[in-house]
Structure 1
């Protein structure tokens, strides 16, 4: 029983359930104002935004705290990895291979989304005047202002990635590089130690995030667009358990074993609707699983910006859904145009405030056949679908890292077997405690 109560997965799952109950049965308390106006506090390279509601404050303060660790961990992991790797050609090879992998897999996700949306047709029968939307002007304006220069400028993670690569390459030719490694390694260990302490607060963040979502939007919000939600969740499950399954199967690695291994992180992503909340922890677990530090450092942060499988599926399905709602017939040429546009615009989703909606607005503006005003239909259920997007993106980046590590012979299978067996042993202990 003691093992059960010290297990983070148990507490995060419990917090999610309690958050749903609070949001559903006492939404007034969950949305209780704690400040008349929001307050923003800048701390180093992260920004804490103190929300006006009790539940969202709990979620946002946890996510903001974890964000503090993302860029230092990326910087230390990549710099140490490249210095240790020594072979600069290999760095370039891994980077190029990662980008090719990202483009192929996200294109597959895009095509799957379009095919399933055309087969199940979730937009048929949706009555637009029965659904109240919100203000979409901020999304359409942001879409018009989007540029790749702005995308890079606003994406601190990408900037840190580039700086770390350049510094790592420069130091790999430095005669005193071992001294640099000896200096950075203890710092890296301290950062991960601090992260472990912060992750103990994950149940609080998951509780607040789930309570806020249910209290603000309510279960009734889902009913008019239940078919769309069901279609999106089904498609993402299909992508994970078919496409990603066969990607890992190529190297005889169990997808189910991998999912059980990162289950704590998946629950955190589910509760907070943010893949950022578990990104540093994922990097550490991938290393413990057998992926080399250098591959993890290159692939995970790059994938966070360019390997957004869940977001790509959602964007493709949302475009087809809105076309069906407004009875716009899309011919093969227009569908191919949508695929081409989303192959480019979906890569900028992570670096823009409003992410999916801004990219979706820019896509609708580009094809000029579907009313941009249709975005209002999606505002009410977007939060509920963001969990599926974040989880799919998260799993997709983990699978990409494992696949590329194996492809580069930078994977220790003995570490993986030990990690998976340890998880199974923990599961058995918890199950026995529950039964007793």
Structure 2
């Protein structure tokens, strides 16, 4: 047999290693809770390593993509198409959330107990000022914005910087070349950090299970199942719908994105999955300038999982307290959430604030938020993975809409997804 026909044996893939880290972390945290709690620094260090990649990667990639495009009308078109898709997806998310919570009624029969009322009351006092949020799109100090990892301000600065760099022609070329080099270095950096992902996820999950225990899931098991079912149903509808509209088999896309999705689920941090998601989408064939524009934008305006959860949680509170919440009121709430959930990624504890504020606005007891705080980490894992998946789907949809992901590239991408 010739040497060329001998295929090297492949070891365990990174996605499999990450999944094993997740399962082993659950087992370890359950069997040895005290040791599991002690592993918190392991998970924290890994997430911090991922987060330190995000800002230079997004900044350099956006400049590279915008300057490389050179067509500013096209840039505006990308933004418009992205926002249209975001609005369609989040509307479906709200509808699915309301459908599932009304059919399964997870709040019926739940025993009301105190314990976290203070946190709920504090959340109700806070409001999300959307006018201030619009003003804050523009940073007064880009270094400060980068230090705080304010993604929307970083995107705003990067867009203007990239447009200006392209507009001055050859004089801006050295800066663009530098951005290209920085982006490539950060992708290699991501590769090194991801080698530690199984260990980091093991520590993070062991801490979560060791701290809260699996017993916390039982009283609110129906709520957890309802949210997970709603998210799966939403993704199925969006994936099938997008497949029919843009003629892409999104189940191949999911196969290609398994690593960032498992990472997002395990860490409950969207930022942790951003660098590897960008890399996988580019490998799938989505042009770099689309990935670097749509994905960061979606992290602010296209939080499908969080939006769905907000609608489901508010109706859940009404069911817990036995307060009538008719369909016409739910539709008004849906319209309210369509507006109030935009841009909430930049606000700490935003989902809690939105749920508490919406509950108060519709005459529901804000104390009901305290009931779900105990299992919020488990709920957050699922909605974070959904957020990441929704934004990756948006990138592929916009690429097809722009006719920059031809059928020939898709066939190659499908073949590669099976090889990995």
TM-score (norm 2): 0.90
- C-alpha separation between the residues in 1 aligned to 2:99 and 2:182? 48
Residue 407 (structure 1) aligned with residue 401 (structure 2)? yes
Cα offset, 1:401, TM superposition: 0.5
Corresponding residue for residue 425 of structure 1: 419
Does structure 1 conserve the Cα–Cα contact (< 8 Å) formed by 2:86 and 2:302?
A: yes
Which of 200, 206, 217 matches 1:205?
A: 200
Conserved? CA contact 1:82–1:165, under 8 Å: yes
Cα contact 1:110–1:339 (8 A) shared by 2: yes
Displacement of 1:365: 2.5
Distance 1:392 1:310 in 2: 5
Alignment of 1:88-103 (within 5 A): 88-103=72-87
Query: Residue 128 of structure 1: SS of its match in structure 2?
Result: coil
- The match for 1:76 is 60
Structure 1, 355-364 or 177-186: larger mean CA deviation? 177-186
- Tell me what 2:45 maps to: 61
Tell whether 2:102 aligns with 1:118: yes
CA deviation after TM superposition for structure 1 residue 374, in Å: 0.6
Q: List 4+ stretches of structure 1 deviating above 3 A.
A: 131-135, 144-148, 150-155, 177-180, 412-416
User: Which residue among 121, 127, 140 is the counterpart of 1:144?
Assistant: 127
Per the alignment, residue 4 of structure 1 pairs with 11
Match of 1:45 in 2: none
Alignment partner, residue 38 of structure 1: none
Q: Which moved more, 1:72-81 or 1:135-144?
A: 135-144
SS at 2:106 equivalent: coil
Shift of 1:146: 4.8
Separation (CA, whole Å) in 2 of partners of 1:145 and 1:181: 37
> By how many angstroms is 1:2 displaced?
5.4
How has the CA–CA distance of structure 1 residues 333 and 241 changed in structure 2, closer, same or farther, with 3 Å as cutoff? closer
Structure 1 distance, partners of 2:40, 2:125, is 24
Unmatched 5+ stretches in structure 1: 32-53, 427-436
Deviation per CA, 1:95-119: give whole Å up to 9, x if none. Answer: 1111121112101111111121111
| Cα distance per residue 1:67-100 (max 9 Å; x no partner) | 1111211111111111111110110111111112
Cα deviations by residue, 1:310-341 (Å, 9 ceiling, x for unpaired) = 11111100001001111111234421221122
For 2:5, the equivalent position in structure 1 comes to none
**In 2, Cα distance between equivalents of 1:137 and 1:384:** 18
Q: Check conservation: 2:121, 2:366, Cα contact below 8 A.
A: no
What is the correspondence of 1:182-197 to structure 2 with a 5 Å cutoff?
A: 182-197=177-192
* C-alpha deviation, 1:142, in angstroms: 6.2
Change (3 A) 1:134 1:272: farther
CA distance in 1, matches of 2:54, 2:332: 36
Q: CA deviation at 1:252?
A: 2.1
In structure 1, the residue matched to 2:240 is 245
Quote the offset at 1:279 in angstroms.
0.5
Give distance in 1, aligned partners of 2:58 and 2:115.
41
Aligned residue for 1:126, secondary structure, equals coil
| Secondary structure, counterpart of 1:239 in structure 2 | helix
CA 1:148–1:11: 2 relative to 1, 3 Å: farther
Assess if the C-alpha contact under 8 Å between 2:15 and 2:262 holds in 1.
yes
Q: What per-residue deviation string (whole Å, max 9, x for no partner) do you get for residues 133-186 of structure 1?
A: 464157426623655525757761111100010011112211214333323222
Contact 1:98 1:299 in 2 (8 A): yes
| 2-structure distance, mates of 1:349, 1:99 | 15
- Kindly indicate whether residue 370 of structure 2 is the aligned counterpart of residue 376 of structure 1: yes
Which residue number in structure 1 is paired with residue 331 of structure 2? 336
**Partners of 1:242 and 1:226 in 2: how far apart?**
24
**Is 1:181 matched with 2:138?**
no
How many residues are aligned here?
Answer: 401
When normalised by structure 1's length, the TM-score is 0.87
- Determine the C-alpha separation between the residues in 2 that align with 1:257 and 1:327: 44
Once the two structures are overlaid, the 10-residue window that deviates more, 232-241 or 288-297, is 288-297
Paired residues for 1:318-337 under 5 Å:
318-337=313-332
Extract unaligned runs of 5+ from structure 2: 1-7, 140-147
| Equivalence map 1:226-245=2 (5 Å) | 226-245=221-240
Mapped partners of 1:379, 1:184: distance in 2: 42
Give the superposed CA RMSD. Answer: 2.0
Give the superposition deviation at 1:15: 0.8
Compute the displacement of 1:284 (Å): 1.6
Distance 1:199 1:290, change over 3 A: same
Give the counterpart of 2:220 among 221, 225, 229: 225
Query: Structure 1 residues 146, 205: CA separation in 2 closer, same or farther (over 3 Å shift)?
Result: farther
Q: Secondary structure at the match of 1:243?
A: helix
Pair 1:161 & 2:155 matched: yes
Deviation for aligned residue 1:417: 2.8
Residue 388 (structure 2) pairs with residue 394 (structure 1): yes
